[in-house]
Amino acid sequence: MKHILSLLLMLICSITATAQQATWIWYPGDFEIWLGNDMQNRRTERETFYPVFWKMDSHYPLVDFHKEVDLTAPEEVSIYVEGRYNVRIDGKAFEGAPSKITIPAGKHWINIKIFNQAFVPAVYISGRTVFSDNTWLVTPEDKEWIDETGKASDISATKWLHSGSWNFNKPETPPSAFRLPVSPASAVSVSSHSKGRIVDFGKETFGFIKLHGVNGSGKVNLYYGESREEALDIQHAETLDRLSFHQSEKRDTVLSLSKAFRYVNVETDNEVQVDSISMLYEYAGVKERGNFRCSDEELNSIYDVAKYTFRLATREFFIDGIKRDRWVWSGDAYQSYLMNYYLFYDNETVQRTILALRGKDPVTSHINTILDYTFYWFMGIYDYYLYTGDETFIKQFYPRMKTLMEYCLGRRNKNGLVEGMSGDWVFIDWADGLSKKGELSFEQLLFCRSLETMTLCADIAGEKKDAETYRQYAAELRARLFPLYWSDSKQALVHSRVNGMQTSNVTRYANMFAIFFEYFDQQQKSAVKKSVLLNDNIQKITTPYMRFYELEALCAMGEQAYVLKEMKSYWGGMLKLGATSFWELYDPSVSGPAHYAMYGRPFGKSLCHAWGASPLYLLGKYYLGVKPESPGYKTYTVQPVLGGLEWMEGTVPVPEGDIKMYCSKKEIKITTISGTGTLRLQSTIKPTCAQAIAESKGGNTYELTLQPGKTYVVNYRAVK
Amino acid sequence: MKHILSLLLMLICSITATAQQATWIWYPGDFEIWLGNDMQNRRTERETFYPVFWKMDSHYPLVDFHKEVDLTAPEEVSIYVEGRYNVRIDGKAFEGAPSKITIPAGKHWINIKIFNQAFVPAVYISGRTVFSDNTWLVTPEDKEWIDETGKASDISATKWLHSGSWNFNKPETPPSAFRLPVSPASAVSVSSHSKGRIVDFGKETFGFIKLHGVNGSGKVNLYYGESREEALDIQHAETLDRLSFHQSEKRDTVLSLSKAFRYVNVETDNEVQVDSISMLYEYAGVKERGNFRCSDEELNSIYDVAKYTFRLATREFFIDGIKRDRWVWSGDAYQSYLMNYYLFYDNETVQRTILALRGKDPVTSHINTILDYTFYWFMGIYDYYLYTGDETFIKQFYPRMKTLMEYCLGRRNKNGLVEGMSGDWVFIDWADGLSKKGELSFEQLLFCRSLETMTLCADIAGEKKDAETYRQYAAELRARLFPLYWSDSKQALVHSRVNGMQTSNVTRYANMFAIFFEYFDQQQKSAVKKSVLLNDNIQKITTPYMRFYELEALCAMGEQAYVLKEMKSYWGGMLKLGATSFWELYDPSVSGPAHYAMYGRPFGKSLCHAWGASPLYLLGKYYLGVKPESPGYKTYTVQPVLGGLEWMEGTVPVPEGDIKMYCSKKEIKITTISGTGTLRLQSTIKPTCAQAIAESKGGNTYELTLQPGKTYVVNYRAVK
């Protein structure tokens, strides 16, 4: 009896276990595009729908799902579907649309074909050994037919991809029912004013307002503010809700569209009462894996607010800002990917964002219509591969990379260079008077890096001929960059060429990218540091967006001490002004409510913008100093730089877990997890180590090889 | 007082009148694609969903609608929308989503931007002078933004098309609510059999079955049959419905999916009763404008059954057959267009079908996956332009023609010829043992005609450079056809080249197309008539599909008398077997229920197939003899040929109305409507005419110029 019971228990466990393995699957990229459309069309401006101005694509309405199985015993399988469907085994269809089938023992091929125009065709299949996951193959055109003689068609041209999925692991929660999670939150204070009350939630936040105890007939107007000034300025508040009630007893109401705010100004007619308001905080359920703490409390605050800023702007996708656009912008997202690798390491959000940005063929404009944003899209894939080692993603979506690159190559000018053509937005940065005319050095650099990315991806996808073509394009362009743009007198890359001539304009952009792209040699780097980066005569950057790269370039040249001061001054400056999240643009020379203005509107600026969170990345990569050297951290470097701090400690996520480290001026402690690391440090003494002896690399630099799953304690003496 | 009253009445009339002018509009092609997806996914086979095997495309989920107006007075405008939307005048948005706006006097530009993933974004705008129609422009990417300084973007690359519409002329019936009309119809007889009853609707029909007085709990099975045999063969009937009821009082039920049938076999459990069944006949509301009557009653019956067949297969689109595929097939549709020009002249169904077939970019396979079907798509446009003169359609969709042709050009083999490549279906016809191997002469002919179509369309679209390219491709290919395929010994085009060598195989296909394409000279025509068309040793055609072209080729050579006999024998043969609509395939050598078999299934054949209706076209074009000579019947020919009939009369629709004609062996009577016609006839005497003198063209041929809107009576004496 006992034997039977334990067998039964095993069976139950086994069924439970396999049930957990099943997940809703779809054509890869399709749910991402559908959700991207849905989310990006939630922007409102003073209650008016405010959609994007680029082409939105769609999911395939008809998709075939396919898998070959080999069963030792017949198996009953449950099928849940979003759409109209049929089920075939070995090409023979079941009558009707079965919710359960039995697959006979032996080798069989299963097809489930689903039609759905309104929503993404998706399926959840749950059996003992047969269940839906990414091993299922999908195609929008199976080209499979039988002619009048019963002869099967030539399906050799049918392209199958691995299906896409996320975390829809229960049959009762299909992708179409997707909502971000919410949790209730209360205001911290309420104060009255002449026409209503202003409710303060204590810090920047995002969610659905809930009105408690609404009674009577009349209007309730809600004016949202990231600042108190905005909520009170009913003529200029960027977002608002005008509600109408007709009820004879008290009821609660939750609004249907989530919004960003810290303050809510509630103004009601006399005939309607609202007891109070609270909110349902809406958030993405991503886990924080990275961390940073140090001896400088201001820097810790900066890190914390950056983390909160980034958390708010990490939603269905990495979006720009939570109040205004709520769109997926490729340039903004590119920075979010990098921050993500040091905080969430949530690579599904990276994939989702890349796919939503790309949409589908045909390519009819640059991503977000912006020339540089197309290039950031490629660069994001380069980094994604480096940080995750995910080759499947590259292989699956290589065709979409290729057609986008073909679009770029087709739009080169007669000199073989890119420049803004009809309908293109050349962005670079929000900066007064920035010239977008002619062949910009910045754009050529990004184009060159994009071509290098395509070379890499073509190799991974096994497209050797393409790889050769891209390799050649990239090499040719790179070889031309210096002849075209380097100015000996300026000791810098100039901003542009107009009518075939170098302009005399020097900006920071191309120069700082050339540093961390490693396009400069050591001598050029040093020259540029002086002539551009540390030169106050070169136009200053006022967006955290481009400060990201400026500070990265300085860090890449070992200027962590300088950058630490800059961070404390710039991000600390926002904190001193009461920021609870970091802004779209911060100009220290401005004062008062003028800080909130942008785009010609008094509250046009976003006070919670993902690109404001860059210290997350800088501190992880250039202070803790952890970065991958080969895809997916198979090899990596740890090169801690205190930059003036007494000590710091933190965690950096990698594919198999987290790298933990502590660093003071005397001691470094590292716990590894996987891959082979190299600890590189500068010390005036020969470092000691419990496990191994560090090897001198000449001068003060020492290196120690880090094996997986070990803890190293190194005593050393920091150079400065 | 009277003056004011009449002014008021005028105003009311005026408002009523303009309200009728408004119609729902959308991005052109998008509703057509959406509806095509919806309709083509209604196919079932024994209750199992049976979808297409090619890629389905989607509507744009986000569309901007735009118009510039110039008003003498402010105007209130009502706005009805399918989707989330905003409204802007001169770039400035109204708050919220207004259902009424007032446009100030003067020049203004209006934009309405709509988002809808589930359904096609559409709008109905109704004002006194401002209302939605095809003058509104639409785009899926306006590329219109304002930068941080308030500067408007470069929107020079934005491509605007004229909006699409159909007949959704009331705000309360938006496109998403589209249903074909229905009307109730009763069975003509009911008879019992051992397990149930069989209900006969008297002839092939299509619609929704209604069950009357259903009571009790249990199952009701409906087996549909185009033949009585099919309905009774519950194992092999191609379509069926299995219904379950649990009700305690009598109720009627209408099924949700329409089906094709003449017979319905109703089998019920003992525990459930059904009093009777009737149907809701579902039809397209297209008007019959063409007509044909003659001295031969069998031919009149053939014409009537052809008309009924074609009416049944003319639905949301021109489909193949009503029982089985219910799909839009380009080769089938191509014939439907031609029949349509002589019956309905419903050019919106032609447009809709062309657009649904084409879908959107990128092109990833041939249309319906079939090489020849891609070429029929081009040829359909050629004819559409010739019969309608509609240049707007060509201009709007030229880019989709071009990308499809680029796909074809990209798939030529090393000899510059087309042949079936991986994943291509080479169809030609259902015919035993027909070789699809190598470079088929038939496919090159169709390719050549497609290139000629592209030359024409590129010229219309103003793409002069493209036109030159296509002109050259077409000329080169045409010049190669005879060297490649003409066999002096066979006095015919051979079927194919394999490994660079002519095969000895001669089939009818290429030879008959070369006749009405006018690719043969007179001598070749005569040779081919003898060596191929009238040669019983050449494999016979058994589909009405290819008989269409075979008989057309013979008519084009003046063989109407022969063709008349063929029609009576072939189509008359089906009538003698009791056909109430014409079939997918008819082989006179078969007998009994074997006629219903195809695709290895006893009732696989469609007994109502559009391509069975070709007498509609042949009688209109080659007997009544009316055909356009320049686009839209600006010039046309009337060349009546009795072909052995005593008399015939009929109507042929043209853009501005109908051409009516009567013809006996002694008298021709024609009423014209528009354009300049040429009556061409053969007479052994000099014809008399009330209005003009016919001019001898030498021999027995006379011509008379026909002016618009006149009636001509010509006395003559037919040559034979």
The CA distances from residue A386 to A259, A337, A627, A704, in Å, are: 35, 12, 9, 22
**Residue A97 near residue A85, CB atoms below 8 Å:** yes
Are A165 and A200 in the same domain?
A: no
Does A50 contact B86 at a Cβ distance shorter than 8 Å?
Answer: yes
The pLDDT of residue A694: 65
Q: Does A62 touch chain B (CB under 8 A)?
A: yes
The CA distance from A635 to A678, in Å, is 8
How far apart are the CA of A49 and the nearest CA of chain B, in angstroms?
A: 5
pLDDT digits (tens, 9 = 90+) for A240-276: 999 999 999 999 999 999 999 999 999 999 899 999 9
Token pair listed for A610: 């993902």
Does B423 contact A53 at a Cβ distance shorter than 8 Å?
Answer: no
Are A486 and A632 in the same domain?
A: no
Strands of B501-502's sheet in order across: B439-440, B496-498, B501-502
pLDDT at A15 over 70: no
For chain A, the straight-line distance linking the first and the last C-alpha, in angstroms and rounded, comes to: 73
The CA distance from B539 to B532, in Å, is 9
Least confident range from A10-24, A214-228, A696-710, B467-481: namely: A10-24
Token pair listed for A78: 């449950």
Does B154 contact A369 at a Cβ distance shorter than 8 Å?
Answer: no
pLDDT digits (tens, 9 = 90+) for A295-339: 999 999 999 999 999 999 999 999 999 999 999 999 999 999 999
Tell me whether residue A12 is in a domain: no
pLDDT digits (tens, 9 = 90+) for A65-98: 999 999 999 999 999 999 999 999 999 999 999 9
For A408, the domain range is 291-621
Token pair listed for A284: 């993405």
Are A274 and A303 in the same domain?
A: no
Q: Label residue B457 exposed, middle or buried (CB < 10 Å: 0-12, 13-18, 19+).
A: buried
Are B308 and B367 in the same domain?
A: yes
Token pair listed for B37: 């997806």
Chain A residues whose CB is inside 8 A of the B424 CB are 154, 157
The residue of A84, A148, A234 whose CB has the most chain B CBs within 10 angstroms, and thus the best one to mutate to test that interface, is A148
Q: Does B601 touch chain A (CB under 8 A)?
A: no
Q: Confidence class of residue A342 from pLDDT cuts 50, 70 and 90?
A: very high
Q: What is the DSSP string of A223-243?
A: EEESSHHHHH-TTT-SEEEEE
Q: Which of A295, A9, A24, A258 is nearest to A134 (CA)?
A: A24
Window 231-270 of B: residues touching A by CB (8 A cutoff) are 242
| For B430, nearest residue in chain A (alpha carbons) | A148
The CA distance from B718 to B663, in Å, is 10
Tell me whether residue B720 is in a domain: no
pLDDT at B241 over 60: yes
Q: B278: number of CA atoms within 13 Å, CB side?
A: 10
Average pLDDT score over chain B: 94
pLDDT digits (tens, 9 = 90+) for B280-297: 999 999 999 999 999 999
How far apart are the CA of B128 and the nearest CA of chain A, in angstroms?
A: 26
What one-character DSSP code corresponds to residue A26?
A: E
Average pLDDT score over chain A: 94
pLDDT digits (tens, 9 = 90+) for A433-489: 999 999 999 999 999 999 999 999 999 999 999 999 999 999 999 999 999 999 999
Tell me whether residue B412 is in a domain: yes
Does B599 contact A148 at a Cβ distance shorter than 8 Å?
Answer: yes
pLDDT at A386 over 90: yes
Express as a percent the part of chain B with pLDDT over 70. 96
Q: Confidence class of residue A693 from pLDDT cuts 50, 70 and 90?
A: low
**Residue B231 near residue B183, CB atoms below 8 Å:** no
Q: Confidence class of residue A692 from pLDDT cuts 50, 70 and 90?
A: low
Are A355 and A479 in the same domain?
A: yes
Q: Which of B290, B296, B305, B289 is nearest to B647 (CA)?
A: B296
Q: B502: how many CB neighbours lie within 10 A of its CB?
A: 19
| Cβ neighbours of residue B135 closer than 8 Å, sequence gap 6 or more | B67, B162
pLDDT at B591 over 80: yes
Tell me whether residue B8 is in a domain: no
How far apart are the CA of B430 and the nearest CA of chain A, in angstroms?
A: 7
Q: How, if at all, do strands A711-715 and B291-294 pair?
A: unpaired
Mean pLDDT confidence for B17-30? 82
Token pair listed for A263: 């303050």
Angle, CA A310 vertex, CA A307 and CA A315 arms, to 5°: 135
What one-character DSSP code corresponds to residue B194?
A: T
Q: Does A146 touch chain B (CB under 8 A)?
A: yes
Residue at a domain's end among A159, A177, A195: A177
How far apart are the CA of B31 and the nearest CA of chain A, in angstroms?
A: 12
pLDDT at A411 over 60: yes
In 3-state terms, what secondary structure has residue B502?
A: strand
Domain count, chain B: 4
pLDDT digits (tens, 9 = 90+) for B479-535: 999 999 999 999 999 999 999 999 999 999 999 999 999 999 999 999 999 999 999
**Residue A155 near residue A184, CB atoms below 8 Å:** no
Q: How, if at all, do strands B676-682 and B635-638 pair?
A: parallel
Tell me whether residue B11 is in a domain: no
Are A555 and A646 in the same domain?
A: no
Are A411 and A526 in the same domain?
A: yes
Q: Which residues pair with B217 in a beta bridge?
A: B246
Tell me whether residue A14 is in a domain: no
The pLDDT of residue A340: 98
Token pair listed for B412: 């030529």
Are A44 and A86 in the same domain?
A: yes
ipTM of the complex: 0.94
Are A326 and A277 in the same domain?
A: no
pLDDT at A8 over 70: no
CATH of the domain at A529: 1.50.10.10
How far apart are the CA of B421 and the nearest CA of chain A, in angstroms?
A: 9
The CA distance from B390 to B386, in Å, is 8
Are A137 and A272 in the same domain?
A: no
* B464-485 helix and B391-409 helix, angle to the nearest 10 degrees: 50
Q: B277: how many CB neighbours lie within 10 A of its CB?
A: 24
Residue at a domain's end among B621, B647, B669: B621
The CA distance from B181 to B93, in Å, is 39
CATH of the domain at B253: 2.60.120.260
Are A513 and A421 in the same domain?
A: yes
Tell me whether residue B6 is in a domain: no
The CA distance from A365 to B705, in Å, is 54
Are B374 and B468 in the same domain?
A: yes
Tell me whether residue A612 is in a domain: yes
CATH of the domain at B685: 2.60.420.10
Residue at a domain's end among B621, B653, B686: B621
| φ/ψ (deg, to 5) at B462 | 75, 20
Express as a percent the part of chain A with pLDDT over 90. 91
Q: Which of A654, A661, A677 is nearest to A341 (CA)?
A: A654
Does A53 contact B145 at a Cβ distance shorter than 8 Å?
Answer: yes
Token pair listed for B210: 């209604």
Q: Confidence class of residue A719 from pLDDT cuts 50, 70 and 90?
A: confident
Mean pLDDT confidence for A567-576? 97
Chain A residues whose CB is inside 8 A of the B430 CB are 148
